[in-house]
Amino acid sequence: MQFLAAALKVRSEMAASETGSPAWPGARSGSGSGVSVLVAVAIVVADMVGVGVFTSLGFQVKDIPSGFSILLLWTVGGIVALCGVFSYGELGAMFPRSSGEYNFLGRAYHPAFGFVAGWVSATVGFAAPVALAAMAFGEYGRSVLPDAPPVVLAVGVVWLVSLVQLAGIRHSSTFQLIATILKVALIIAFLACGFIIGTAQPVSFAPSASDFTHIVSAPFAISLVFVMYSFSGWNAATYIIGEVRSPERNVPRAMLIGTLIVLVLYVALNAVFLHTAPIDKLAGQLDVARISGSHIFGEIGGRIVGAMICFGLISSISAMMWIGPRVMMTMGEDIPVLRAFARRSPGGAPAYAILFQLTVASLMLFTRSFEAVLEFIQFSLLFCSFFTVLGVIKLRITHPDLPRPYRAWGYPVTPVVFLLVTGFMMYYLLTEQPLRSFLGLLIMFSGLLIYAVFRKRENQVPAAAAGHE
> Measured between alpha carbons, how far is 231 from 81 in angstroms, rounded to an integer?
7
pLDDT of residue 391: 98
The residues that bridge with 35 in the sheet, in sequence order, are 244
In the chain the domains, ranked by start, together with CATH numbers, are 26-455 (1.20.1740.10)
Helix, strand, coil % in the chain, rounded to nearest 5: 75, 0, 25
pLDDT value of residue 461: 52
Its pTM stands at 0.89
- One digit per residue, the tens of pLDDT, for the chain of length 469 reads 333 333 333 233 333 333 334 444 444 434 445 899 999 999 999 999 998 899 999 999 999 999 999 999 999 999 999 999 999 999 999 999 999 999 999 999 999 999 999 999 999 999 999 999 999 999 898 877 888 899 999 999 999 999 999 999 999 999 999 999 999 999 999 999 999 999 999 998 999 888 899 998 999 999 999 999 999 999 999 999 999 999 999 999 999 999 999 999 999 999 999 999 999 999 999 889 999 999 999 988 888 898 999 999 999 999 999 999 999 999 999 999 999 999 999 999 999 999 999 999 999 999 988 888 888 899 999 999 999 999 999 999 999 999 999 999 999 999 999 999 999 999 999 999 999 899 999 999 999 999 999 888 777 655 444 454 4
pLDDT of residue 146: 83
Rounded to whole angstroms, the Cα distance separating 452 from 195 reads 57
- At residue 9, φ and ψ (nearest 5 deg) are -70, 135
Q: Are 336 and 462 in contact (CB under 8 A)?
A: no
Between helix 127-141 and helix 351-367 the angle, nearest 10°, is 60
Residue 422 to residue 416: CA distance in whole angstroms: 10
Residue 35 three-state SS? strand
Would you state the pLDDT for residue 460?
64
User: Using CA of residue 290, residue 76, residue 176, residue 151, what is the dihedral sign?
Assistant: negative
